[in-house]
Amino acid sequence: MVRPTGFGFSEEVVEHYDLLPVIRDGHDVHGFVSAIAGQPGMDLVGLAGVLGVRMGRMPKPSPALVVFLEWGDGRWWNALRLLDGREMREDWPSRVRRAEDGWPRPNGLGGWWTRSRVQNLRLRVHTPGGAEPMVH
């Protein structure tokens, strides 16, 4: 299964964060991604992973591969594809939506820039022994 991942994009670097430990330890994923957005120079933040989503008249959430990206000015882009186990469901094609087309932002996603400003959130990465962080 796809591991939940957070991303931060700036002019000079792309940062990648494994969100599985954040989720397993019961921490606030929305707050964590908001802290990524709060770093100086960030232009775009996002997440990718398998989430439960409701499509149409489904009575309960169904697992879907979801990618959500958000810019500092509030624009966003979202793609999802429903899953059946580990396979893509053929009866539901991929769905791509974005703010610029007038779609409402999906519940529970985004708003990270506002939260980072309101709560003064900044991700502070500490490396063992003061070593430089590894950049891939």
More reliable by pLDDT, 55 or 16: 16
* Surface-to-core class of residue 81, CB atoms within 10 Å of its CB (0-12 exposed, 13-18 middle, 19+ buried): middle
In this structure, is residue 58 part of a structural domain? yes
Q: How many domains, in total, are found in the chain?
A: 1
Average pLDDT over residues 77-83: 94
In this structure, is residue 136 part of a structural domain? no
In this structure, is residue 106 part of a structural domain? yes
In this structure, is residue 135 part of a structural domain? no
58: containing domain: 5-130
Where does residue 31 fall: left (phi above 0), alpha (psi -120 to 50 degrees), or beta otherwise? Answer: alpha
Q: What's the pTM value of the predicted model, to 2 decimals?
A: 0.85
* Surface-to-core class of residue 136, CB atoms within 10 Å of its CB (0-12 exposed, 13-18 middle, 19+ buried): exposed
Average pLDDT over residues 93-107: 93
In this structure, is residue 69 part of a structural domain? yes
